[in-house]
Amino acid sequence: MSGAFDRPAASEGTKETTLERPTKASSPFNMDDADLVILTKDNVEFYVHRVILCIASPIFKTMLSLPQPPEAVLTPSVDVSEDSQTMETFLRIIYPVADPEIRSLRHLREVLAAGMKYDVPVVIAASRKALSQQAFIEADPLQVFALACTLGMEAEAKVAAKAAVVQNRVSGATCADLEEITAGGYFRLSQLNRTRT
């Protein structure tokens, strides 16, 4: 993150006019009464309320408590490294709106990473719940196992490991996420596979 800054108006410099203008996010992240703009890496602006971010995240609370320049007249902005899909899901979890549906493990990994980065327990809990979905476990139990191991989610890892063994996906399997687990985690998976055969 680059921190909180005020955006210059387009007429104040040529840099703004040469860059692609940001896209405004959809409701509820396009409200006129927002007091902060979050700009994602894919150039989408989320108009949000500081109070909600500060309640949900001690990281945002600390960052947003930093003094702003006195000449600030426009809504302050924070650039983040997350893409708009990840940020929208992250924000929908912490805002008082309907919970979003997480439909892929890749997206789940990104949302969970944001939850951990900004220290937001409700996002971590929602991600953990999503990781336990039977659809994810049936579709790719090995990836669920690896992700659960990486994040220290022992119960979820056990369920996914059993599914991977039952589906015969362990022997000779490749999964990029397996590279991130400990040798102990891989050993337990191998032992479970051996006892099954």
The reply to whether 126 falls in a domain is no
**Kind of pairing between the strands at 44-48 and 23-24:** parallel
**Whether pLDDT at 5 is above 90:** no
The reply to whether 15 falls in a domain is yes
Contacts of 185 (CB under 8 A, 6+ apart): 146, 149, 157
Pair 87, 38: CB distance under 8 Å: yes
**Whether pLDDT at 7 is above 60:** no
| Mean pLDDT within 69-98 | 90
Rounded Cα distance, 112 and 28, in Å: 21
- Residues of the chain with pLDDT > 70, as a percent, come to 85
Q: Are residues 136 and 99 in the same domain?
A: no
Tell me the pLDDT band of 71, cut-offs 50, 70 and 90: low
**Whether pLDDT at 120 is above 50:** yes
The reply to whether 118 falls in a domain is no
Pair 37, 99: CB distance under 8 Å: no
Q: Are residues 13 and 98 in the same domain?
A: yes
The reply to whether 184 falls in a domain is yes
Q: Could you tell me the sign of the dihedral formed by the alpha carbons of 112, 81, 174, 188, in that order?
A: negative
The reply to whether 112 falls in a domain is no
Structurally, how many domains does the chain consist of? Answer: 2
The CATH number of residue 94's host domain is 3.30.710
Pair 131, 102: CB distance under 8 Å: no
Instruction: Supply the mean pLDDT for the chain.
Output: 85
pLDDT at residue 75, rounded to an integer: 83
Q: Are residues 3 and 61 in the same domain?
A: yes
Q: Are residues 2 and 80 in the same domain?
A: yes
The reply to whether 71 falls in a domain is yes
Q: Are residues 82 and 148 in the same domain?
A: no
Q: Are residues 21 and 96 in the same domain?
A: yes
The reply to whether 76 falls in a domain is yes
pLDDT at residue 179, rounded to an integer: 80
Tell me the pLDDT band of 173, cut-offs 50, 70 and 90: low
* DSSP structure string for 116-164: HHTT-HHHHHHHHHHHT-HHHHHH-HHHHHHHHHHTT-HHHHHHHHHHH
pLDDT at residue 197, rounded to an integer: 61
Tokens 């900004």 — which residue? 118
Domain that holds residue 136: 132-197
Q: Are residues 96 and 9 in the same domain?
A: yes
Contacts of 118 (CB under 8 A, 6+ apart): 57, 59, 60, 90
pTM for this predicted structure: 0.79
Q: Domain boundary at 85, 103, 121, which?
A: 103
From the centroid of its chain, how far is CA 177?
A: 17
Q: Are residues 9 and 72 in the same domain?
A: yes
Q: Are residues 81 and 164 in the same domain?
A: no
Bridge partners for 37 per DSSP? 47, 77
The reply to whether 181 falls in a domain is yes
Q: Are residues 137 and 99 in the same domain?
A: no
Q: Domain boundary at 86, 103, 120, which?
A: 103
Q: Are residues 5 and 78 in the same domain?
A: yes
Rounded Cα distance, 40 and 46, in Å: 8
